[in-house]
Amino acid sequence: MQEHVDISIHCKNKAKDGLTLTPWNLIKLSVPFVKYWLTRKGQLAHSIAEVGAFYRSSSAVNEPDIQIHLLPVMFNDSGYDWRPTLKHGFTCHVCLLRPESRGEVSLNPDKPLSKPRITYGFLSNPKDQEALLNGVKKAIQILNQPALSSHNGGFICPTIDTSDAQLLEQIKSRSGLIYHPVGTCKMGPDNDSEAVVSPDLKVRGVEKLRVVDASIMPKVISGNTNGATIVIAEKGADLIKADA
């Protein structure tokens, strides 16, 4: 299994014009809410992750291996930890697009009928550690540019005045996922012993069974997975129709 490992950089927003979810700010949002309702315009007509970029973690890399998104709100742990949303701040997500690390989905040997075990193996490959560290350092450079000085009131996390080793430890302890798990039913040619499905998406060794979803991607793609999954589905539908 592969997934895009991701780290959130949180900054104070000294302009206090983001989506802070305190009771007072929720009341203030009623104005843009009515504006959006009547005109489909204003603050709430914008996507929550409107600004993004792809860049290379270092000049040694040929193609972008880092994706960032800026959000006018702070939260942790995919929103399960909502406490940071009560403070004025913004988030820069830094995501590693071409990870080498792999995790796995396996049966629980003690209780095979219960939920499977899912491990991501994030940053288990040292190349991933170096790439994400460099990616975070570049994101910090971007956030420190004069164009953002009216908003950036200082870094909440990670702590930036620190050594590379300490920054990496912070990245490891705060890294999360970005909802792009793939690869547990890898597609591959006959001579690939790890391939679960053939190039026409048939499960090897089982009659009349295909897998048609994101799990057949041999490696995670270097971007968000929904579009590529729809392409797999269209191709799978054509293969099934052709066989019928």
Ligand X SMILES: Cc1cc2nc3c(=O)[nH]c(=O)nc-3n(C[C@H](O)[C@H](O)[C@H](O)COP(=O)(O)OP(=O)(O)OC[C@H]3O[C@@H](n4cnc5c(N)ncnc54)[C@H](O)[C@@H]3O)c2cc1C
Active site residue ranges: 180
Strand order, beta sheet including 66-71: 51-55, 66-71, 89-96, 6-13, 152-157
Q: Give the binding range for ligand X (CB under 6 A) out of 35-43, 81-89, 188-196, 218-226.
A: 218-226
Q: Least distance to ligand X from the beta carbon of 91, Å?
A: 15
Out of 79, 81, 179, 204, name the contact with ligand X by CB under 6 A: 179
Q: Least distance to ligand X from the beta carbon of 114, Å?
A: 15
Residue closer to ligand X, measured from CB, 100 or 213: 213
Out of 24, 165, 227, 242, name the contact with ligand X by CB under 6 A: 227
Kindly state whether residue 19 participates in binding ligand X, applying the rule CB under 6 A.
no
Give just the sign of the alpha carbon dihedral 168, 58, 218, 52: positive
The size of the interface with ligand X (CB under 6 A), counted in residues, is 9
Q: Which of 82, 120, 79, 78 is nearest to 102 (CA)?
A: 120
Kindly state whether residue 225 participates in binding ligand X, applying the rule CB under 6 A.
yes
Q: Is the bond preceding residue 158 a cis peptide, omega within 30 degrees?
A: yes
Kindly state whether residue 180 participates in binding ligand X, applying the rule CB under 6 A.
yes
DSSP letter string over 193-211? TT-SB-TT-BBTTSTT-B-
Q: Least distance to ligand X from the beta carbon of 43, Å?
A: 20
Q: Least distance to ligand X from the beta carbon of 184, Å?
A: 10
Kindly state whether residue 184 participates in binding ligand X, applying the rule CB under 6 A.
no
Neighbours of 106 (CB within 10 A): 13
Residue closer to ligand X, measured from CB, 95 or 133: 95
CA 101 to CA 121: how far, in whole Å?
6
Can you read off the two tokens belonging to residue 4? 């895009």
Out of 1, 9, 11, 214, name the contact with ligand X by CB under 6 A: 214
CA 143 to CA 135: how far, in whole Å?
12
Binding site for ligand X (CB under 6 A): 179-180, 213-214, 224-227, 229
